[in-house]
Amino acid sequence: MQDILKFSNKYINAHQNKIDALSPTFNIVDISSFLSDNYNIDTQLDQDIIKPFTRDWSNIPGGQADLLVRPKTNQQCAIILRTCQVCKIPLTISAGQTNLTGSATPKGGVILSTSQLKNPDILVDINNKSVLAPVGVPLEIMREEVLRCSNNTLYYPVDPTSRHDAYVGGTLSCNASGFIPGEKGATRYWVKEIELILINGYSLTIKRGDYISNNGVFTIQCDDKTTAMPIPKYKRPKIKNASGPFSSMDSEIDFIDLIIGSEGIFGMITQCVFGLDIKPPNHLELFLRLEDENKAIALHQFLYTEFHGDMSEVTALEYFGYNCQTYMKNKEFLFNNEQEVGLYIQIPIYNDDIELKTNEWAELLSKFDDNFNLENIIVLNDPINWKKFFEARHSIPDNALTKTRQLGGISIITDTIVPMENFKEYLDKIHIKIRKHNIEYLLFGHLGDCHLHFHLILDIQQNNLCLKIYDYMVDLSAELGGVYSAEHGTGKRKRNDFKKCYGIEAVEMVKQSKLAIDADLLLNRGNVF
């Protein structure tokens, strides 16, 4: 363990004087020319080219930027960051733009797209069960490369729905989660090492365990300048949690934990080493038809008790509830009638065969309910069955988002989570609230974490009403011991949620942490606070 994070100017050393000779009075055209002429950086001033980068999947309006840059190397990234610092220009980092909270929506200044940051090559270390990846590759490309290089013996477990579109860097920024219940389903758990570049262009490779805060402070050193960076100290509920930067009231924290999920406000991650897990030789893939939501909740509680609180016995417990069938492809394959809800259960198999494991689960479900109809179990291990289910699962949010965009409404997909003991109360109250106002919606998500998404389908006239409904959901989640975001983060859309959840004091703590290394609040301005 080391006491001081000693950042290096290796990327900008030869260029520091030239960059520091710039001035805040430089206009954006001059800065574009400076970067392209001197460092061969791809710069774009054309608003037709910039415009697609000004909005992410959140569909938040008002995104605007003056300059788009697309670096290809870590050195070019450092030069861009240093230039923005010297010229006091806000810089927004944009990855795959799959974020649902507006993290990648710029509010002026420069957009740095990571789309060309594909070096170094993805490198799988089988012996150490790890993979090195640049930030500019889609997560699914990395996951597939791990499977290929390990001959299907290792895998990267984090599996968000957007993995085909989301970049590695974006998943680090928001601490993306997959279907696995518990901490193993989130990005932070698997990060072993990162390279971080600060707004001043200085960089450092950071390994987990090397830098732990001391008396609530990280000591940051750049050349002979040393800065004390205080850690946030607000209480985070011990549930799946992506609401604001990592914090601790009563213990020290790892610097990596602070950075992962901080949505780019402290620095830019350029590459990462992830840990890998042993891939189960097989899985049992089940889809269960259930008569209603109460039955699904009761089954989850039964499994939690049966597994003594360790939901790692399953690698997915996904719920398809109210109104999902309306937006689902292949619904006739999965359901017998429109009133049914569904559960997808993935069970890892290490030693048993599929038939034996299927029989075990048939017995388990009969123990849950003596009258459980085993004909309501669909085994998805057959490739045709799996394809139908996969298409059904991914069609729901895609079709719902498409309809919302067609209606001109903003995207409202809740990311709230509450402890299991308050879960049913929370769902019941939200159902009543939305139906009272006759708003179309659907409900789906990660039942294994008590983390379901209410997806509101609204037109432009309903925007204000639905935002008030959303505020009610957030307030209720906090009242019941939960948080506003389990996996999507805070971004720009949920800044007020962060304040309501943790208090104005927490906002000030995060701000003080940022000011220590970004005095002008330039990097990813508007995220979190």
CATH no. for residue 176?
3.30.465.10
Q: Is 207 exposed, middle or buried (0-12, 13-18, 19+ CB in 10 A)?
A: middle
In the block, residue with structure tokens 């609180």: 309
pLDDT digits (tens, 9 = 90+) for 196-211: 999 999 999 999 999 9
Based on the domain organization, do 383 and 273 belong to the same domain? no
Based on the domain organization, do 290 and 416 belong to the same domain? yes
Residue 173: per-residue pLDDT: 96
List residues bridging with 454 in a β-sheet: 443
Residue 300: per-residue pLDDT: 96
> How much is the CA Rg of the chain, to the nearest whole Å?
24
Structural domain contains residue 199:
yes
525, 92 Cβ separation under 8 angstroms: yes
Structural domain contains residue 440:
yes
* CATH number for the domain harbouring residue 69: 3.30.43.10
Structural domain contains residue 43:
yes
- SS3 letters for 441-489? EEEEEEHHHCEEEEEEECEHHHHHHHHHHHHHHHHHHHHCCCECECCCC
- The pTM assigned to this predicted structure is 0.90
Cα–Cα dist 301/316, whole Å: 15
Structural domain contains residue 455:
yes
Structural domain contains residue 523:
no
Structural domain contains residue 129:
yes
Based on the domain organization, do 312 and 451 belong to the same domain? yes
Based on the domain organization, do 211 and 92 belong to the same domain? no
Tokens of 41: 């950086």
Q: With a cut of 50, list the residues of the chain below it in pLDDT.
A: none
Based on the domain organization, do 445 and 340 belong to the same domain? yes
Based on the domain organization, do 231 and 305 belong to the same domain? no
Strand order in the sheet with 123-125: 123-125, 130-134, 268-275, 191-197, 203-207
312, 180 Cβ separation under 8 angstroms: yes
Based on the domain organization, do 266 and 341 belong to the same domain? no
3-state secondary structure of 271: strand
Residue 179: per-residue pLDDT: 83
Which of the listed residues 479, 498, 520 is the one where a domain comes to its end? 479
Structural domain contains residue 503:
no
Structural domain containing residue 219: 123-278
Cα–Cα dist 427/168, whole Å: 33
Residue 337: per-residue pLDDT: 95
Based on the domain organization, do 113 and 141 belong to the same domain? no
Residue 350: per-residue pLDDT: 87
Which of the listed residues 84, 117, 150 is the one where a domain comes to its end? 117
Q: Is 149 exposed, middle or buried (0-12, 13-18, 19+ CB in 10 A)?
A: middle
The Cβ-side half-sphere exposure at 79, using a 13 Å CA radius, reads 26
Q: What are the residues whose beta carbons fall under 8 Å from the beta carbon of 180, sequence distance 6 or more?
A: 157, 158, 159, 312, 315, 316, 448
Which residue from 446, 450, 453 is spatially nearest to 419, judged by alpha carbons?
Answer: 450
In the block, residue with structure tokens 């008030």: 468
Based on the domain organization, do 463 and 320 belong to the same domain? yes
Based on the domain organization, do 159 and 204 belong to the same domain? yes
Residue 99: per-residue pLDDT: 85
Residue 200: per-residue pLDDT: 98
Based on the domain organization, do 170 and 129 belong to the same domain? yes
Structural domain contains residue 497:
no
Based on the domain organization, do 322 and 468 belong to the same domain? yes
Q: Is 345 exposed, middle or buried (0-12, 13-18, 19+ CB in 10 A)?
A: buried
Per the structure, the count of domains in the chain is 3
Which of the listed residues 117, 142, 159 is the one where a domain comes to its end? 117
